[in-house]
Structure 1
Amino acid sequence: MRPFSLDQLRTFVAVCEAGSLAAGAPHVFLSQSAVSEQLRKLEQHAGRTLLARSKAGVAPTVAGQRLLAHARQLLALSEAAWEDLQGAALEGTLRLGVTDYFRPAELAGLLARAQARHPGVRLQVAVRKSGEIEAGYAQGEFDVGLTMRLPAAAGAAAGRRAAGTPLRREPLLWMGAAWSCAAPPAAGAPLRLLALPDTCSLHRFAVALLKRRRVPFVVALQASGVAGLQSALAAGLGVACLNASALCDGVQALPAAWTLPALPQARFVVLPPRQGESAFVQRARQQLVADFA
């Protein structure tokens, strides 16, 4: 048995979240050279390259993303074990806002497991569009907010948002009914686009992209939530741009024959702490990141 060092994992998480060794070092109270040495030993122990390094900083590799999820869970369990022995378990009411796009098939199970791990926490959950979550968080409606971010090119405001804690990346995909999407529409026929209302950032992103690439389309249906989009997709009412975890029974990614514009990745982030928030909320946010990663 070759267990991982929690100190090395803590440094790895700090660097991944900060985006560079220099930015991550203060979070673990180490010098940059000590951080580099810990990461070298961690990669040696894992037998994998965990970080891709560039002039812009560092980002986890595919293997690093896998370890990052495990590391957050292990660190959270270690913290929970200490708190349990000290009689310091999490207790209080937590108002949580979650974007409708976050792991739609798994969200209920994630919440149930988080509740089971922290029985003293009274969760109050609102599932809404990312823009509504961010606005509500700014107004104090939520204690913790989990939103989806699209590339900065999707809108001028994207670059002005506070970064938050990275939680997950997913590719965006063009999707349609599994039984009807083998062949694209006839030449000249408009694409039948299914989407959430135009207040949704992903709706605006998809529409802007199709217009830029001069792909003829019509918004054939606007659903109130992702579940409605999934039902409409499975029924063959059109196609949609959604994140990969929204794939479900009866729905699949469109094949290359559709020649639709290439899509980037979406990022899911936990909004950054507010000034003056309670120690309970700070700890609950850390646990949520670990539980949902």
Structure 2
Amino acid sequence: MRVLELDQLRTFVTVADAGSLSAAAPRLFLSQSSVSEQLRKLEERAGVPLLTRGKQGAAPTPAGTRLLEHARRILALSELALQDLRGHTLDGELRLAVTDYFRPGEIAGMLRGLRERYPYLRLHVQVTKSSVIDAGMHTDDFDIGLSMRLPGKGGGQQAGAKGVRGTVLRREALAWVAAQGEAERVSGPLPLVLLPDTCSLHQFVVQTLRRRRLDHVIAHSASGVAGLHLALAAGLGVSCLNESAIGPGVARIDAATLARLKLPALPTAEFFLLPARAGEAALVGKVRTALAEQFA
């Protein structure tokens, strides 16, 4: 009787998520050859090719896509069984506030993974601006906040949330971006596409340009990152985004154009979980730990 091995399924899911064997190997704490061998054995057991491999990496075949959904559920159920036996199952309701710049193309998948891992956890998610999340540190608007921190005037990181550091999940470089070829056509004041002026990234960009005395104008103000992507892709101007927030139809501005426009090099942003509040429920602390593992 043929059965599916959990370790092989875990390797398969990790490769599919990472996009290549080389990227998956360190996540699995295996050599690339060991990853390849596990995939070979899984394909032999399945009787069909599960991945296509090429210069662009590895991608699931149609059969692999079908198995991927089963594999995620099997692995989640296996982990849930262990958690239940050990008394670690998360059961309850919780409100999460996430900055809209945090890996917008991946956040849905990460939340799905969290739901599969903790199916009894009822999570209410609000995607909003970092300034709103920081201001809510001492309010009851949400239980856990995931915010973004940008460099301060002195070159250090703005503390955010009234000086509280929190748990840093990820650091990403900032980049000047526009639709392909759009920045090359700029000849007057720099047309900026930004979120409203309550957005910390808006404030950072404007302050940076003012300090360098670079002419600029707000060409378009978007209500959220999704709208900002659409405006950029439509060629309405130039913006500044963290790496994971650079969406389809938008690209980094090349070095020659950056030099012509006199745009400065940009620093790194930090994404962090706000720390525990005094007297918060034990469930909130457990979910914060789970989020740190899931989102890192």
Question: Is TM > 0.5 for Structure 1 vs Structure 2?
Answer: yes
Counterparts of 1:80-159 in structure 2, within 5 Å, are 83-153=83-153, 158-159=158-159
Whichever residue aligns with residue 131 of structure 1, its letter is S
Q: What secondary structure is seen at the aligned counterpart in 1 of 2:153?
A: helix
Q: Which amino acid in 2 is paired with 1:218? A: V
Q: In the alignment, residue 206 of structure 1 is paired with which amino acid?
A: V
Whole-angstrom distance in 2 between the partners of 1:98 and 1:113? 16
Q: Does the Cα contact within 8 Å between 2:79 and 2:117 map onto a contact in 1?
A: no
1:286 aligns with 2:289: yes
Deviation larger for 261-270 or 80-89: 80-89
2:60 equivalent in structure 1: none
Q: CA deviation at 1:165?
A: 0.2
TM-score, normalised via structure 1 length: 0.69
Shift, 1:169, TM fit: 0.4
Question: Which is worse superposed, 81-90 or 130-139?
Answer: 81-90
Other-structure match for 2:251? 252
Q: 1:262 aligns with which of 265, 276, 295?
A: 265
- The 3 A distance-change label for structure 1 pair 146 and 209 is same
- The question of whether the paired residues in 2 share the 8 Å contact of 1:206 and 1:241 is answered with yes
**Which residue number in structure 2 is paired with residue 16 of structure 1?**
none
Q: State the alpha-carbon separation in 1 of the partners of residues 157 and 30 from structure 2.
A: 39
Q: Which consecutive residues of structure 1, in runs of 5 or more, have no partner in the other structure?
A: 1-44, 48-76
Greater Rg, structure 1 or structure 2?
2
Q: Quick check: 2:150–2:157 contact (8 Å CA) kept in 1?
A: no
Secondary structure in 2 aligned to 1:153? coil
Residues 46, 112 of structure 1: CA spacing in aligned structure 2 closer, same or farther, 3 A cutoff?
closer
For residue 171 of structure 1, what is the aligned residue in structure 2?
173
* Runs of 4+ deviating beyond 4 Å: 77-82, 154-157
2:9 alignment counterpart: none
Matching residue's letter, 1:142: F
Partner SS for 1:229: helix
Cα distance in 2 for partners of 1:135, 1:198 equals 15
Cα separation, 2, equivalents of 1:271 and 1:78: 30
Give the 3-state SS of the residue equivalent to 2:105 in structure 1: coil
Structure 2: stretches of 5+ with no match in the other structure: 1-28, 32-76
On the 8 A contact 2:170/2:270 being kept in 1, the answer is yes
Q: In structure 2, what is the Cα distance between the partners aligned to 1:272 and 1:82?
A: 28
* TM-score, length basis structure 2: 0.68
In structure 2, the residue matched to 1:185 is: 186
Sort the Cα spacing of 1:253 and 1:134 in 2 relative to 1 into closer, same or farther, 3 A.
same
